[in-house]
Amino acid sequence: MNEFYKVLIVDDELLIRQGIINYIEWESEGYKIVGEASNGEEALQSLELYRPHIMITDIVMPGMDGIELVKQVKENYPDTEVIVLSSFENFDYVKQTFQNGVADYILKPKLNTEELLQTLNRVTQKQKKAANVHDDPSSMGDICKKIIEGYQSIREMEFAINQFTHDTFVLVEVFWNKRESIQLSKTTIKDQLQQHLSDIKLYDIPLKEYSMLFLTNFESHELPKLKDAVHTCETKAGSPNIKWIVSTPFQSIKELKHMYETDHLTMQQYHFYLPDRTSLFYDNLPEETEKKADFDLNHLIYLFKRKQFQEAFIYLNEHIGFLSNQYETDAFEFKSWLENIIFNIIVLLGNMNYDIQELEAEKYYYFSEINEAFQVREAISIFDTFLAKVEKKVLPANAETISNIQLLLDYIEEHFDSHLTLSTLADHFHFNPSYLSSYFSKHHQEGFSEYLNYVRIKNARNMLKETDMSISAISEAVGYSDPSYFTKVFKRMTGKSPSTYRKENKQTN
């Protein structure tokens, strides 16, 4: 089996990089291009990702130049040999790089196939032969990356088929919000997962920066072991910012691209709409709400033109509540819909001679923040900020609506043990009942009754943990007159009966 040296190409000129890549048949000469970069910063990222044996780099580049790049490479990746490209007028720079450990150099005017191969061979004679690329799990990950992206060679696919000897494949992904810090490094996450999967092959596929995608290969009877390992790692991570996906099993490496583009990416969409879930398993996904009529933009425009703003906001909120439960809808499509509504409302208000100067100035901020939203609530929150400003312009009498909503939520928290209905709350706070209903649907992905149940069961759990009150007494204390109905709701929301929950919790304590 052939052995390869991994090579990284660094140059700010695309034509130079492409020229080098196409000069020779790399693999037939014992080398493999694993990546390319246009500047020093990109090069350092690629070095961390691919750990090449050889880096070919230009000296004069924008940002971090070749001298600083070489210095950092030799400090942090001493096993990587560096070949410098230079023109005659920059040769003084080359001399400086030799002080930092450059292995060799090539003058650009002399750059051709023969010169390049001679230099590479001189360098590789100094370097101990690297492990066979096909025995290196990280290199196997590179092949899987090519398969997903659709440009693997026939030989690579044939090798991959022979490499995987077990009958079941599963994709496992760990990802996080790039705007929020996480306590665990990529290395720690991988080590923890590998620790619990000692008998299962695990390949890291380098696809995205804020994510780790693994391909696992094992015998089908070991599937429960994989699930347990992910559950354990999720618990150890203990961070709501780290999300886990375990995709549907498949039987052939040839299915990898199809499974990633369909099943796996669909599950990523679920995470966007389910911010409270830190893990999603292919066999434990929530069902979508029933389909309803598409949003009618012309109806919204009609309501605005007639200044029926309250009805317009109710219509918007109801549809956002519906969309936020359509888990298979592309997140980009959902965000684009919000942005389109913002754009149309600003145009409408301008045509109606409202002062839109502030809204016009801020719209690109709204677009940018919605685009960057990691989960559905973030996107809706930005949209609500916009909508609150619109309300103040068109409904001055209702300018305090948003703050009053918080008063309403606080009221529910304080009076959950009383007889509460949507109508009595709407009357108490002088809200339109339809507006209030759409608010709960949009912001809590549930209706008012479900939200009230959530508050009551939350308090019931505390009572079960902290008191010796009977089940029926707790039922009455949190607002349920029928203990059997309380038990039914409790089990539906927690997965356990009240007595089982109390028993397990007391054992834990």
Residue predicted with more confidence, 239 or 168: 168
CB 171, CB 214: distance < 8 Å: yes
For the chain, give the percent of residues with pLDDT over 70. Answer: 86
Q: Which helix (H) or strand (E) holds 24?
A: none
Q: Do domains 5-132 and 136-281 have the same CATH topology?
A: no
Structure confidence by residue, pLDDT tens digits, 390-442: 988 887 554 444 455 667 778 888 888 888 887 777 767 656 666 677 667 66
168-176/104-107 β-pairing: unpaired
The predicted structure's pLDDT at residue 120? 87
Reported pTM: 0.55
Task: Take residue 298 and report the two structure tokens written for it.
Answer: 């012309």
Whether 494 has a pLDDT exceeding 90, the answer reads: no
Whether 289 has a pLDDT exceeding 70, the answer reads: no
Residue 446 is given by DSSP the state S
C-alpha angle 372/377/378, rounded to 5°? 30
Instruction: Please name the fold of domain 136-281.
Output: Alpha-Beta Plaits (3.30.70)
Lowest mean pLDDT among 42-56, 94-108, 274-288, 348-362: 94-108
Please determine, looking at this structure, whether the domain spanning 5-132 carries the CATH number 2.102.10.10.
no
429-448 burial, b at 16+ Cβ within 10 Å, e below that, comes to: eebbbbbbbbbbbbbbbeeb
CB under 8 Å to 389, separation ≥6 — which residues?
358, 359
The predicted structure's pLDDT at residue 388? 85
Whether 278 has a pLDDT exceeding 90, the answer reads: no
Residue 108 is given by DSSP the state G
Residue 250 is given by DSSP the state B
The predicted structure's pLDDT at residue 438? 66
Q: Which helix (H) or strand (E) holds 241?
A: none
* Count of Cβ atoms closer than 10 Å to residue 63 Cβ: 12
Residue predicted with more confidence, 509 or 430: 430
Angstrom CA distances, 96 to 72, 82, 263, stand at 14, 13, 52
- Name the β-bridge partners of 77: none
Break the chain into its structural domains and give their ranges: 5-132, 136-281, 288-395, 400-509
Q: Which of 26, 102, 8 is nearest to 59 (CA)?
A: 102
The predicted structure's pLDDT at residue 434? 63
* Count of Cβ atoms closer than 10 Å to residue 2 Cβ: 11
The predicted structure's pLDDT at residue 275? 85
The pLDDT-based confidence of 155 (bands split at 50, 70, 90) is: confident
Average pLDDT over residues 314-339: 86
Class of domain 400-509: mainly alpha
The predicted structure's pLDDT at residue 68? 85
